[in-house]
Amino acid sequence: MSSLAGRNVLVTGSTQGVGQAIVIAAAKAGANVVIHGLHADDSAKETRRTCLETGVDAQLVTGDLTDSQGVQDIFDAALRANPEIDTLVNNAGTYLDVPFIEMEYEHFDKTMRLNVYAYFFLTQYFARHWITHSTAGRVLMIGSINGRLAEDVHTAYDTSKGGVEMMVKSVAVSLAKHNIRVNGLAPGLFYTPLTAKALDDPEFMHWMQQHTPNGDVPGPEVCGESAIYLLSDAAKHVCGHMLMVDGGMSVWQQPDP
């Protein structure tokens, strides 16, 4: 794994799933980390313990990112926890199983506020801070295979993740001249506590394996390893790129049944 020694990383939504895998991988790669969750629950505390066991500093901040005040509060709390933060991973997100024809404004709005607005404005807060302090910042935005491939009942989520992919490109262009590097990572479907119910169905798991070229449905730890590469000096000339971590599903036009 690439090294993040000397870096200070905030990962939003990092008490479970992909975010948790990324923050633990960052700690194992030598970075001091700030973990973020909605609440200081058992999962948040266990994530912090796991990070501390690697020998780095690990802090925990909590709060809701679905409104502008919440974004400001998390920015302030994270810098209080670690004033040297130089790396941001925007990961916290939500999705709703609501078909397009039934989608209500407030449900769509909530999805956009957490999946798009929070990414945009938390990155803006840190970019302003880093520019003021001449910090070589790094940003990773977690998208999804759904930013390229649509699903019937995930219209709001798909739209938000398509927005994230373009945000990676446009913000990368905007911030490159300030020595702030922006990239994205787009996971496919992984085995996590949130997906276990679906993937524990043998028929659905078989479908997933058939529609994934490498036939694998791994845990989120593979996202952690990919994220560390994009945040490390090994990817210093990678800018504005969305790395698909999906076993090849997004490039397979016609899966063979």
Nearest to 155 by CA among 105, 204, 97, 226: 97
Catalytic hit among 117, 119, 157, 229: 157
Return the number of other C-beta atoms located less than 10 Å from residue 56's C-beta: 20
- Parallel, antiparallel or unpaired: strands 58-62 and 32-37: parallel
Contact 184, 90 (CB under 8 A): no
| Angle between helical axes of 105-112 and 155-175 (0-180°, round to 10) | 30
Bin 134: left if φ > 0, else alpha if -120 < ψ < 50, else beta: left
Is 191 one of the catalytic residues? no
Bridge partners (DSSP) listed for residue 190: none
- DSSP letter, residue 143: -
What the block records as the tokens of 224 is: 């952690």
Q: What span, in angstroms and rounded, lies between the C-alpha atoms of 230 and 186? A: 12
Contact 139, 126 (CB under 8 A): yes
What the block records as the tokens of 162 is: 């398509």
Contact 240, 182 (CB under 8 A): yes
**How much is the CA Rg of the chain, to the nearest whole Å?**
18
Catalytic center residues: 157
